Structure 1
Amino acid sequence: MGLYGVLNAGVSGMNAQTNRLGVVADNIQNQNTVGYKRGNTQFSSMLTDSNAGSYNAGSVSTTVRYGIGGPNNQGTTQQTTSSTDLAIQGEGFFIVKDRGGTPHLTRAGNYVIDGPTGNLINAAGMSLQGYSLANGDPKVSLNSYDGLVPVNISNLAGKTTPSTAGTLAGNLNIDTPIGGAVSDKNYAKTYSLTTYDNAGRSSMVDLYFQKSADGAWQAAAYDRTTGKQLGNTATMTFDSFGKPTSSQKLSWTVTNGQPFTLDLSSITQNAGKYSMETTAIDGNAPSAVKSVDVAADGTVYAVYEDSSRYAAYKIPLATVASPDNLTPRAGNVYDVSSTSGLARTGFPNIGGRGSILGSRLEQSTVDLGDELATMIASQTSYGANSKVFQTGTEMLETLVNLKR
């Protein structure tokens, strides 16, 4: 078996270097693939039984390992102009599903809005998964993907938010003469605001303010269309410094019976000019989605043309105990394996998970210089192994020729 073992050893060495060169080829062709993790070929010797009188050459096996997890395998992040480009700073993986509904893990965050479906999909056509916030805080399954839905942008277009609360801030001039009852539409100053019902229909509301006594004002709301008073009349009182001494609110119902409350406790009374502004008021009319904004905690906001924002989804991140043992799949995604551990789902910045960076992409961890150096080393080793095979062949030929 001596000479045949030499031939087998030479072939084994060439096969091993071929595998190594194949991994180098994969790395080089994916040097610009978003979120790609460099592969590395590990060699392991396979020895055969030998004795003092003869030695039988063994062989070598190769194992491909990917540096997927850990701070040393974090690719650099690059700024982009797309708000749907996402990068993970730290540990964790995005959860995506292919067209067949099979879930996978990935670090690639180059998502775009799919025209036919409105889902956020990556370059491989897989849809980003998240939890819907339509019914408040989502219920997260820590050890499964239950409850996840595709992050869909098209179904947010034209979405309306009813008006339920608002806050006024400003100043009422202290030198205003005392007047009649504001309920009779006697007023010193008036302002207007707009509220929206569940269907996005707007209602113009006129706010009347009248000084009723020293240090006291009355406020009332009237429907612009019907002229009727809405809800209660509020009495605001102020101390000698012009600061409010009571917390007053106006309450009425919007067109479909929806309650609305306006907080007046931030209004002052001093010698300054009249001024009034809404520091906070919710509700909006139907509006098209202008852009998408993703916060560091994974919350996906739809930004409308009227500049209002709506929290629609929350993107989770998955972690595994041994990310380097995940199984790579086509589409720059990974599947859990028996050695990687089960996927554990949670939100960014919690439980050791990283944060999500909007308008950024994680670059490949491939260093072209290192790959070229490995290619040269592999080529040299392949040539040396071929010489072993060639020399063994020549020695075997010499052995055969001894019979002649």
Structure 2
Amino acid sequence: MSLYGTMRTGVSGMNAQANRLSTVADNIANANTTGYKKASTQFSSLILPTTGGAYNSGGVNTDVRYSISAQGTFTYTNSSTDLAINGKGFFIVQGSDGQEYMTRAGAFTPMDDGTLRNSAGFTLMGYPYSSTEDPTIVINGFAGLEEINLASGELNVEASNSGYLHVNLPSNEAHPYTKSTSLVAYDSLGNTRKLDFNYSTTATPGQWELSVTYTDPDSGNIYDMLDTPPSVVASAAAATTEALSFDTTGKLVSPTDINTSGMTIGGGVLNPLEISIGGASGGSTQLAASFAAKGDIDGIGPSGVTGYEISDDGIVFLKYENGDMAPKYRIAMANVQSPDNLKPLAGNVYAQSPDSGVVVMGYAGNGGYGTIISGALEDSNVDIAEELTSMIESQRNYTANSKVFQTGSELMEVLVNLKR
């Protein structure tokens, strides 16, 4: 047995325990770091071949592993931009270097420019939201992502496209009888445009006539909105009418919808509107009761952002002063085949490594990705009691290995002194 080998083995053991103590120190230091995943030191023996009957002591190798796939507990907060992932996946964030990274640290705060950044200065990324189709995802890369910006919709305008108007027309009124009601629509500039719906009896029982007009407040012109394009008429009574037919139970038989024409007013465009007035689910009636009306038209006038909400599938909604909510972004998520082999970087972020597998993109709540919890943060998965136990074990083992080195050194000194 070589005394040099003995000392070398003792040094190997001390280095191994020093590595273990380093991971313990990191884990304890980051016990309260949002989304932190603990590191652990794994040991493997180093065996040297025996030659000539003499045993050659080897040593120990260490390998640091990260429990990145282990879910942490949740701490709930009062901020809707604090985000946690319940399940698999990572947020995509961009660093100051312009590169994208993955992270579980979701303590995002709105900045002056409207972006969302976490405590390490990384910006949350996502895709613009579309109600008609999902954005094209580059499955194995980050192309197409953009910064989620809560200030991008500071003032919101949405032109009207459709609505409904359900009325009761009194069947016990003598002919001729006329009654009007109004609905407000929004043009492309957010201006309100009041449409008048004029109901009149006809000589035929169970049948009424409906005209739709718009009176320009600037010129005083009355426009026939059932004409294509809308034409100026002398009065509402001269406008085009639509015949309304009711059955013997007082329910509207036809038509079920009224379509008005679009027009340009004061630089803005009032879209063609589809107004539901009847149908299988209910609608206008002709009963022996007073005239009554209820209805609404979609659209949003100029309205400022007052807040935001994030759904569990990662859709970011902006809340406006008028109470409307508009989806603007969808938070992107990523995963790899072997999360524990990702490369940890400063700022509690991860990058793809040769052993992790390629990055696969997706959305929260589908494709095996977890859901997003708004108003919560994922805690570190460090167990302090376990780390303190590891620290004590490492301290003992380090001391024992130092004794091996010390003993080998003393024997080496005896061997050197034999010559004297």
**How many Å separate the matches in 2 of 1:248 and 1:177?**
26
User: Is 1:155 the equivalent of 2:152?
Assistant: yes
SS in 1 for 2:323: coil
User: Is 1:261 the equivalent of 2:277?
Assistant: no
State the match for 1:196 in structure 2.
186
**Preserved contact between residue 119 and residue 151 of structure 1 (Cα < 8 Å):** yes
**How many Å separate the matches in 2 of 1:23 and 1:272?**
80
User: Is 1:133 the equivalent of 2:129?
Assistant: yes
Quickly say closer, same or farther: Cα 1:125–1:370, change in 2 above 3 A: same
CA-atom RMSD, angstroms?
A: 2.1
State the match for 1:278 in structure 2.
295
SS in 2 for 1:140: coil
Q: CA deviation at 1:303?
A: 1.0
Long gaps (5+) in structure 2: 227-240
State the match for 1:205 in structure 2.
195
Task: Give the letter aligned to residue 184 of structure 2.
Answer: T
Q: CA deviation at 1:136?
A: 5.0
**Preserved contact between residue 35 and residue 104 of structure 2 (Cα < 8 Å):** yes
Of 335, 346, 353, which residue of structure 2 is paired with 1:330?
Answer: 346
**How many Å separate the matches in 1 of 2:414 and 2:388?**
39
Long gaps (5+) in structure 1: 181-186
The number of residue pairs the alignment matches comes to 392
Q: CA deviation at 1:51?
A: 3.3
Task: Give the letter aligned to residue 251 of structure 2.
Answer: K
**How many Å separate the matches in 2 of 1:351 and 1:156?**
30
How far does the alpha carbon of each residue in 1:248-272 deviate from its partner, in whole angstroms, 9 at most, with x for none? 2141325334322222124232345
SS in 2 for 1:159: strand
Quickly say closer, same or farther: Cα 1:308–1:401, change in 2 above 3 A: same
Task: Give the letter aligned to residue 21 of structure 2.
Answer: L
Quickly say closer, same or farther: Cα 1:318–1:177, change in 2 above 3 A: farther
- Alignment TM-score, normalising by the size of structure 2: 0.87
**How many Å separate the matches in 2 of 1:136 and 1:30?**
43
State the match for 1:237 in structure 2.
245
Counterparts of 1:156-195 in structure 2 under 5 Å?
Answer: 156-180=153-177, 187-190=178-181, 192-195=182-185
**Preserved contact between residue 129 and residue 315 of structure 2 (Cα < 8 Å):** no
**Preserved contact between residue 27 and residue 371 of structure 1 (Cα < 8 Å):** yes
How far does the alpha carbon of each residue in 1:169-204 deviate from its partner, in whole angstroms, 9 at most, with x for none? 454444344435xxxxxx3242x3322222222223
**How many Å separate the matches in 1 of 2:144 and 2:413?**
69
Task: Give the letter aligned to residue 88 of structure 2.
Answer: E
Task: Give the letter aligned to residue 113 of structure 1.
Answer: P
**How many Å separate the matches in 1 of 2:8 and 2:349?**
36
> Structure 1 segments of 4 or more deviating over 4 A?
271-274
Counterparts of 1:336-351 in structure 2 under 5 Å?
Answer: 336-351=352-367
State the match for 1:184 in structure 2.
none
- Alignment TM-score, normalising by the size of structure 1: 0.90
Counterparts of 1:74-85 in structure 2 under 5 Å?
Answer: 74-85=71-82
Q: CA deviation at 1:10?
A: 1.2
User: Is 1:305 the equivalent of 2:325?
Assistant: no
Counterparts of 1:41-190 in structure 2 under 5 Å?
Answer: 41-51=41-51, 53-69=53-69, 73-115=70-112, 117-133=113-129, 137=133, 138-180=135-177, 187-190=178-181
**How many Å separate the matches in 2 of 1:397 and 1:173?**
117
**Preserved contact between residue 300 and residue 311 of structure 1 (Cα < 8 Å):** yes
**How many Å separate the matches in 2 of 1:296 and 1:4?**
61
Task: Give the letter aligned to residue 29 of structure 2.
Answer: Q
Quickly say closer, same or farther: Cα 1:275–1:384, change in 2 above 3 A: farther
How far does the alpha carbon of each residue in 1:323-360 deviate from its partner, in whole angstroms, 9 at most, with x for none? 11100111111000111111111222222112222222
State the match for 2:205 in structure 1.
214
Task: Give the letter aligned to residue 212 of structure 2.
Answer: A
Quickly say closer, same or farther: Cα 1:198–1:385, change in 2 above 3 A: same
Q: Give aligned-pair identity as a percent.
A: 41
SS in 2 for 1:37: coil
Moved more, 233-242 or 316-325: 233-242
**How many Å separate the matches in 2 of 1:372 and 1:236?**
82
Of 349, 374, 378, which residue of structure 1 is paired with 2:390?
Answer: 374
**Preserved contact between residue 172 and residue 274 of structure 1 (Cα < 8 Å):** yes
**How many Å separate the matches in 2 of 1:63 and 1:97?**
29
**How many Å separate the matches in 2 of 1:193 and 1:360?**
42
Q: CA deviation at 1:134?
A: 6.1
Quickly say closer, same or farther: Cα 1:175–1:365, change in 2 above 3 A: farther
SS in 2 for 1:285: strand
Q: CA deviation at 1:107?
A: 1.3
